[in-house]
A and B are shown apart, each in its own frame.
Chain A
Amino acid sequence: MSVLSITGQELLDIVHKDIDDFSLDAGYYITDSTYAVPELVHMRTEVYHSFTKWLKFIGLDRKKGEKQFWHRKFDCENLASLYKSYCDLLHYKTNPLTFTENSKAKKKNKSNSEGLAVGTIWYDNNKASNPTTAHAINAIITQKPGQKELSVVYIEPNNGSQVSLTKKEKESIWYAKF
């Protein structure tokens, strides 16, 4: 099986398509040349479950009665960045061979893409009690169930749920990094 890989430009086009009124002031950072496309169900189940275990392992567990992983000094953008880094780490650990090693080895890497199509986005959360509350979550470029085309799925790293952003919220994105 060969793994689907998209270029940085293709990734940006998918993000572009998802947001009708693409804000030209927003900073979209595409830092790798190619991106492997992760499976959505796997991301939402096994990967998220392991992510929460990993948070506990590094000492960022929720205390009893607490709903959130974030704290005043380790809040939503820190958690979103950590989730992206964790997913990037899994991509590396799944494909640890260098280009030269991979060409010689019997057991090859699954994917040779430089990055994984998981990013972090910053936007104005209109659903919050304070309508001007800025929030950070994750965005995954993947295939939604039953669809052939790739699209953007937004994930709340605090609980692993899929988030639907309103048009206004999508347009308010001012920073995204993949």
Chain B
Amino acid sequence: MVRKILKKLFKFKDIEDYHAELYPKMKYIEDLRPKKKYKSKKK
């Protein structure tokens, strides 16, 4: 609760807030290659 008030009043930041700013989620190229189908071997 105290942290919430500090955050609101003084723009106090938790370490997680800094991490969110410093380490954005990576975006990747989508794999559009046809997926390999594996057939089970019949005995």
Contact = CB atoms under 8 A, between A and B. Distances in A.
A3 B30 contact: yes
Contacts of B22: 50, 53-54, 57
A47 B30 contact: no
A39 B31 contact: no
A16 B21 CA distance: 36
B24 A47 contact: yes
B24 to A, nearest CB: 5
B27 interface: yes
A4 B26 CA distance: 13
B22 to A, nearest CB: 5
Per DSSP, chain B at the interface is loop
Interface in B1-32: 18-19, 21-32
Given A2-B31, A4-B31, A5-B31, A110 B26 contact: yes
Interface residues of B, number: 15
Interface in A119-165: 142-143, 150
B21 A50 contact: yes
B28 A90 contact: no
Contacts of A143: 29
Interface in A74-127: 87, 89-91, 93-95, 110-111, 116
A4 B23 contact: no
Nearest to A88: B26
A50 B22 CA distance: 5
A50 B29 contact: no
B38 to A, nearest CB: 16
Nearest to B18: A57
Interface of B: 18-19, 21-33
Given A50-B24, A93-B25, 11 more contacts: A2-B30, A2-B31, A3-B31, A36-B28, A38-B26, A57-B18, A89-B23, A95-B26, A111-B26, A116-B26, A150-B29
Interface of A: 1-5, 36-39, 42, 46-47, 50, 53-54, 57, 87, 89-91, 93-95, 110-111, 116, 142-143, 150
